[in-house]
Chains A and B, each alone.
Chain A
Amino acid sequence: MQEATFLILTALADGSQHGYGIITDVQQISGGRVRLRAGTLYTALDRLRADGLIGVDREEVVDGRLRRYYRLTPAGTGRLAAEAARLQAHAAAALARLNLAGGMAT
């Protein structure tokens, strides 16, 4: 799973969000490192929707502008959980070996 995809799914993990909400949330989760652009975001959202990992939650009009809220589907929740477990296992292995190698990871 690409990092941007992982971060988008993470942004939706605890509730539905609209496009701009996802962008600001992804920026916060990544410590300001990943700033999604609108074109990239909607290409990813379209693909995730086609793959059945996210769905449209609801639509609102705020200040005359359309907001479409997206949420994880059960399949999306499963994929994100599996990917997070995989990354965690890798990170744990890396940290454990760094510790053995001379306590660099404190």
Chain B
Amino acid sequence: MTDQEHLERAYRRRLAWYPRAFRDEHGPEILAVLMAGARDGQRRPGLAGSADLIRSGLWLRLCPRAPRSVRAAVRLMCAGAVIPAVSLILSLVTLATARIVGGLVVTALWLWMARANGQGRNGARIFSVVLSGVVTLALAIELGLGGPGHVAGMTVPSLALSVLNWLIGLAAAGLLWLPASAAFFKQQDLAQAQAQHQAQMAARARPDRPGARWARQV
């Protein structure tokens, strides 16, 4: 295998991080750009080049066509996932089971919200606001009922991190209700309803297709 073939294969593997639809449409031209920018005798993509492709691919999976305000919310939610993720890693070291489960759930929740909101799912937008409200209430109760003594019992860094995570959630949820965001969610909802309707019509037209029975019942 020549150096060039070796490099091209490595680049193709990095492109697997992209959503399939994007890769199908842009994969060949991105590969052409990458190969045009390669140095003579280069065999590996390099750390910065790989990081750029992986980051871009994951980002496109998160929020493919969202407006600026929704993208900012998705970025905040990814940042929000960092604190529980670090706490998860720390609790893995100390093997504190309750904290491992808690860290897993909270990290997954942040990432799920980032993805679902980035794709414009209105349920996720409502869920984000409700969750923000619940966390606000929980934090208020913890601070209020526990009193100063209780707060003293919580370590200062852990309290600060809880407040920071709460603020990130609040800011992200707020961004999702700006007019530009609201228009995006409405449009995505409409597109989804249309796609569903079309799929049903197609299933009705061809009764032998799987899913046709389900479509007739609806």
Contacts and interface: CB of A to CB of B under 8 A. Distances in A.
Interface string A3-29: 000000000000000111001000000
Interface in B6-24: 22
B118 to A, nearest CB: 13
A47 B54 CA distance: 17
Say which size band chain B's interface belongs to. Answer: 20 to 34
Interface stretch (B56-64, B134-142, B151-159, B160-168): B56-64
Interface of B: 22, 26, 28-37, 48-49, 52-57, 59-60, 64-65
Contact of A20 (B26, B37, B53, B57): B37
A40 B52 contact: yes
A79 interface: no
Contacts of A41: 33
B53 A39 contact: yes
Nearest to B26: A42
Question: Top 6 A-B pairs ranked by shortest CB distance?
Answer: A39-B56, A65-B32, A37-B52, A39-B52, A66-B28, A19-B33
A65 B28 contact: yes
A92 interface: no
Contacts of A67: 29, 32
Contact of A66 (B29, B34, B65): B29
A106 interface: no
Interface residues of A, number: 18
A37 B48 contact: yes
14 contacts: A19-B30, A20-B37, A23-B37, A38-B34, A38-B49, A38-B53, A39-B30, A39-B54, A40-B56, A42-B26, A47-B65, A65-B35, A66-B29, A66-B32
Given A43-B56, A43-B60, A50-B65, A38 B28 contact: no
Interface in A48-68: 50, 65-68
Contact of A68 (B29, B34, B59): B29
B30 A37 contact: no
A94 to B, nearest CB: 26
B48 to A, nearest CB: 7
A50 B32 CA distance: 22
Contacts of B49: 37-38
